Every structure is written in structure tokens, then in C-alpha cells.
Amino acid sequence: MTTAAPTSIEMSPADLREILKLTRAASPDEACGLVVGRREGDTLIVTRVVEATNVVQPDDRPKRFEVDPETRIRLEKRLRGTPDELIGHWHSHPFGPPSPSARDLAQAYEPELIWLICAPDTSPPLTAWRADPKAGGFRPIPVLIAKEIS
């Protein structure tokens, strides 16, 4: 993925509903997955969200997540030769706001990936972030929900 910071991320209402559904189904544990898309100018366009198993120990799942590495490897193999790429991951905060935690910052190993964080009972229920190692934190990215086509 290009490392220039995107100015926004756009996703469909269906992708937002899917993340909300998976988040609610996993509660009180953190849910997680991957985000596939492509860049159009300064905007990242989400083309699909992928569910992944949270592979941390069961006692840690209400406050931590780790995307199943097998899911990521399989996905990246399927994306080879396509216009889409892995642009980020998503996870839920069942007991907090949809903003990065100190633990999230400690796990931001790939600053080029976008972090979508879902807290379904807040407004907005989903936020997007990009790690900014030089600033020692995250920068918010506006999430645009595309209109449904009927």
C-alpha cells in the first residue's frame, strides 16, 4: 500500500452493518477482522471486510485482539494480481469508545494499515485511524458511508 496518508476512507452501508453485526455477536469479547480495498486519489475505498478469529487467550478477549494470522495469509494470497489490497484491520471496543487505546498503540506494528474501531452503542459507532509513530499516537481519518444503490 502507498504510504502517503489518506484523507478519508469510504465504505458501504453493508460493510458497516457487517462489522456491527460481528461486533455484537462477539460481545463481550473483542471482534476483529481485515479490511480490503484500494486507493482512489487521497481516499481509501473499502471493497470488503473480512471476519477473523480473535486468537488471544479467552480470558484476554474482552480487552485485546489479535487477528488470526492464517486468515491474513490466505487473504493476501487471494489478493495477489487483483486491484485490491489489504488496507487495514478492524476490531471492536465492547467496553469503551471507538478510539485507539494505549494497547492499540503498542500493537501498531504496521503504520501503513488503517485501524477501524467499532463501538456499536456509540455515535459514531465506527472510527478510522492511522498510526503516526513520529507523533507517538494515532491520527483520525474521516469515515464516509457511501449511499446504497437501489
Cβ–Cβ < 8 Å for 87, 61 = no
Cell of 42: 487521497
Q: Residue 110: helix, strand or coil by DSSP?
A: coil
User: Which pLDDT score is estimated for 3?
Assistant: 55
CA atoms of 98 and 121, how far apart (whole Å):
10
Cβ–Cβ < 8 Å for 130, 111 = yes
Residue 150 pLDDT exceeds 50? no
The pTM score is 0.91
Q: 71: closest CA among 95, 99, 35?
A: 35
CA atoms of 143 and 49, how far apart (whole Å):
14
Q: 22: closest CA among 65, 60, 52, 56?
A: 52
CA atoms of 78 and 100, how far apart (whole Å):
29
Our measurement of the distance from residue 39's CA atom to the centroid of its chain's CA atoms, rounded to an integer in Å, reads: 15
Domains along the sequence of the chain with CATH: 8-145 (3.40.140.10)
Q: What is the average per-residue pLDDT within 14-31?
A: 96
User: Which pLDDT score is estimated for 1?
Assistant: 46
| φ, ψ of residue 72 in degrees (nearest 5) | -65, -45
Tell which wins on pLDDT, 134 or 101. 101
Residue 146 pLDDT exceeds 80? yes
Fill in the amino acid letter for 98.
Answer: P
CA atoms of 60 and 133, how far apart (whole Å):
26
Q: What is the average per-residue pLDDT within 56-84?
A: 95
